Amino acid sequence: MLLEIDNLKLLYGRIEALHGISLHVDQGEIVALIGANGAGKTTTMKAISGLHAISGGSIRFDGADVSRLRADLRVIRGIGQSPEGRGVFPGMTVLENLEMGAYTRKDKADIAKDLAMVFDLFPRLAERRKQAGGTLSGGEQQMLAVGRALMTRPKLLLLDEPSMGLAPKLIQQIFEIITRINEQGTTILLVEQNAQQALSRAHRGYVLETGRIVKEGTGQELLHDPAVKEAYLGVA
Ligand code: ATP
């Protein structure tokens, strides 16, 4: 097990947003976390990456308890994140943004290899390597955010809504790239509104409702679950 979350609780002020979540991600998996707006998907990601402190439970990663570890130290241990809303540095070029992803690393030859890999996955970024991040289209910024997360060479890649705001053709493309990244050896935890795509690409998934996991199963089981279909796939 690469990531193991047990009875995780998180407070925003006095309001409990996560009421005791347990989930796990095994080495090599794509796991999807789906749920309606406000269910707590982004909050769960923030707890894992250390961007928000937890109030109870535990997070174990790669054999160690990281529940109270600083966010930057979690990156060094191998938790890479592409945040919702992208978070690209607008004044830096595409290349500089990608290099920022590798700022904790010292292995120059491997960094160059990973940069080549990111440009291979996203030819559009290669073409625009000298362009300022802030002038990229929404879809290109999304690619850049995923590329930057990959430059941390994560053991676990956290993707928060990678398809958000993308045109249908690009959504298809980004999910194909996610599958390729996984096939190349990166374990992925994915938060998505696009439950159809996420569940058809994921090995397993969890359904989150108002801060609780209400269902789990393989991607295929959840895709064919009547309640999931009705609530998240837009078919009765
Ligand atoms: P969406 O799909 O709309 O992004 P989500 O499942 O990612 O939703 P979260 O962003 O995790 O949902 O929010 C979970 C709940 O916590 C929501 O009710 C939200 O209003 C609340 N919340 C999130 N961030 C804060 C905050 N900084 N302060 C107070 N409440 C917050």
Tell me if 43 CB under 6 Å of ligand 1.
Answer: yes
**pTM for this prediction:** 0.92
Tell me if 103 CB under 6 Å of ligand 1.
Answer: no
Tell me if 18 CB under 6 Å of ligand 1.
Answer: no
Tell me if 42 CB under 6 Å of ligand 1.
Answer: yes
The residue whose C-alpha atom lies closest to atom 29 belonging to ligand 1 is: 12
Does 85 have pLDDT greater than 70? no
Strands 56-61 and 3-12: antiparallel
Question: Per-residue pLDDT averaged across 18-27, rounded?
Answer: 98
- Biggest CA–CA distance in the chain, Å, is 53
Token pair 């928000």: residue = 52
Q: What is the pLDDT of residue 84?
A: 65
Q: What is the pLDDT of residue 102?
A: 87
The whole-angstrom separation of Cα 171 and Cα 190 is 14
The residue whose C-alpha atom lies closest to atom 30 belonging to ligand 1 is: 12
Q: What is the pLDDT of residue 6?
A: 98
Tell me if 123 CB under 6 Å of ligand 1.
Answer: no
Encode pLDDT of 23-78 as tens digits.
Answer: 999 999 999 999 988 999 999 999 999 999 999 999 999 999 999 999 999 999 99
Encode pLDDT of 120-175 as tens digits.
Answer: 989 999 999 999 999 999 888 988 998 998 898 899 999 998 888 788 888 888 89
Residues in the chain: 236
How many other CB atoms are found less than 10 A from the CB of residue 20? Answer: 15
Encode pLDDT of 104-115 as tens digits.
Answer: 788 888 899 999
Q: Considering only CA atoms, give the Rg of the chain.
A: 17
Which atom of ligand 1 is nearest to 160's Cα? 7
The residue whose C-alpha atom lies closest to atom 31 belonging to ligand 1 is: 12
Cβ atoms of residues 5 and 57 within 8 Å: yes
Tell me if 17 CB under 6 Å of ligand 1.
Answer: yes
Tell me if 35 CB under 6 Å of ligand 1.
Answer: yes
Determine the distance separating the centroid of ligand 1 and the alpha carbon of 43, expressed in angstroms. 6
Beta bridge partners of 212: 209
Encode pLDDT of 161-178 as tens digits.
Answer: 888 878 888 888 889 989
